[in-house]
Amino acid sequence: MSLNPAMVDWSGRCVWIVGASSGIGAALARALVERGARVAVSARNAEALAASGAELALPLDVRDASALARAGSRLHEHFGGLDLAVYCAGTYQPMRAGDFDLERALAHDDVNYRGALHWLAAVLPLLQHRRGAHLSLVSSVAGWRGLPQALAYGPTKAALISLAETLYVDLRDRGIAVSVINPGFVDTPLTAQNSFAMPALLQPEQAALAILRGWRRGRFDIHFPLRFTLWLRLLRCLPYRAGFAITRRFTGL
């Protein structure tokens, strides 16, 4: 069942992707440019943004709320509003309780969740200028249930899922669609840190196509690849005793 209006024709649509210097964000920017969208991109790496092919590059650090506010003003001047805003910025370092590092844990919160709040303050006024506008948060299946190595990362992604659910409830009557994107493993600089075999690993270009397909179908929860995420979805529904036992058995941790 579709919870959002379908997004099919990208020609002339104004899009802002934050976290577009590499990985999923960069691949998504390229895919939308190829489909005729007017794309603005942001991240800290100005050189990578300049090579993205986007119409507008706005380098910034999501930890700086004032920088996002200035970018929002620039977008209003350039586009007049936004049809789609995507938060794809994120950081990840494997962490378990035995190696807990407070500074690194808080860094995840600063980028993955608080950065999204900074972005939200900048984009909400821009989305209200366009009929059928859409707001999308890139979370992770790591936010569905506690998993090994995700002590710092997983809780911030769970917070994004909750944020997206609340935004959907609040913004639906205002005509603004909301989706949350929960990828499995995608080959990016962040997942390259993993020392374990990653099942059903996708390339960023495959992830971008899956996201476009989800928007086209009006999905709220866009997760992929299904051969991996459907098993995790089932795990999320199990009682804790069974869920913890299965997680331990299949991860060995």
Task: Tell whether 223 is covered by a domain.
Answer: yes
Mean of the per-residue pLDDT values for the chain? 93
The pLDDT tens digits of the residues spanning 116-151 come to 999 999 999 999 878 899 999 999 999 998 888 899
65-69, 121-125, 224-228, range with the lowest pLDDT: 224-228
Give the SS3 label for residue 213: helix
Task: Tell whether 82 is covered by a domain.
Answer: yes
- Average pLDDT in the 66-78 region? 97
What is the per-residue pLDDT for 225?
94
The parent domain of residue 82 ranges over 14-251
pLDDT reading at 244 higher than 90:
no
Task: Tell whether 93 is covered by a domain.
Answer: yes
Cis peptide before 225 (omega within 30 of 0): yes
Task: Tell whether 146 is covered by a domain.
Answer: yes
Going by C-beta distance under 8 Å and a sequence separation of 6 or more, which residues neighbour residue 120?
87, 167
What is the per-residue pLDDT for 140?
96
Domain count, the chain: 1
Task: Tell whether 6 is covered by a domain.
Answer: no
Which residue type is seen at 172? R
Task: Tell whether 219 is covered by a domain.
Answer: yes
pLDDT reading at 194 higher than 90:
no
What is the per-residue pLDDT for 243?
81
Question: In terms of C-beta distances under 8 Å and separation of at least 24 residues, what long-range contacts does 40-44 make, across chains too?
Answer: 40/14, 40/15, 40/16, 40/75, 40/78, 40/79, 41/16, 41/17, 42/16, 42/17, 42/18, 42/71, 43/18, 43/19, 43/89
pLDDT > 70: percent of the chain: 98
The pLDDT tens digits of the residues spanning 25-35 come to 999 999 999 99
Q: Measured between alpha carbons, how far is 90 from 21 in angstroms, rounded to an integer?
A: 11
- Average pLDDT in the 143-167 region? 94
- In this prediction, residue 56 has a pLDDT band, given cuts at 50, 70 and 90, of very high
Task: Tell whether 3 is covered by a domain.
Answer: no
| CATH number of the domain residue 206 falls in | 3.40.50.720
- Average pLDDT in the 207-219 region? 98
- In this prediction, residue 252 has a pLDDT band, given cuts at 50, 70 and 90, of low
- The secondary structure of residue 222, as a DSSP letter, is E
Q: Find how far residue 71's CA is from the centre of its chain.
A: 19
Task: Tell whether 87 is covered by a domain.
Answer: yes
pLDDT reading at 93 higher than 80:
yes
